[in-house]
Amino acid sequence: MIHLPEPDLTENRLTGRDPQHPMFRLAMVILLDAVECFQQNWQSQDRRSQRAFREVEEWIVSNDAGAPLSFEEVCDLLGLDAGYVRMLFFRWKERQLQRSKQRGRKPRPFRRKGQPRMRHLD
């Protein structure tokens, strides 16, 4: 699981870092969706999931600081250091790869406990 740091609720140029402000809430939802997509699809075999992972990965590494809803902007809205959050994503992925190598088998995609295994019919 990627453990994100708590958002900084001190002054912010756009939202005042008020957790009830719509831009703050939107930024939080976008980042949490990216975490879920990254973890669920990082080793997926179907094309749709692979494309979703690539899109999230490209969004994370992008340096479009001024673009609306870019990774940099979302982190800024939340008061998070984009470089640090970016490092958390790739550290998680590296740990998953290391674990799969130690076990001697192909890593499985992230699946929540109790979630049934489903086959995708793409």
pLDDT tens digits along 18-43: 777 888 889 999 999 999 999 999 88
Residue in 96, 78, 74 with CA at minimum distance from that of residue 19? 78
For residue 78, pLDDT over 70 is answered with: yes
Q: What is the pTM of this model?
A: 0.70
**Confidence category of residue 120, pLDDT binned at 50, 70, 90:** very low
Best CA proximity match to 4, nearest among 47, 112, 27, 62: 27
Give the up-direction half-sphere exposure of residue 20: CA atoms within 13 A in the CB hemisphere.
0
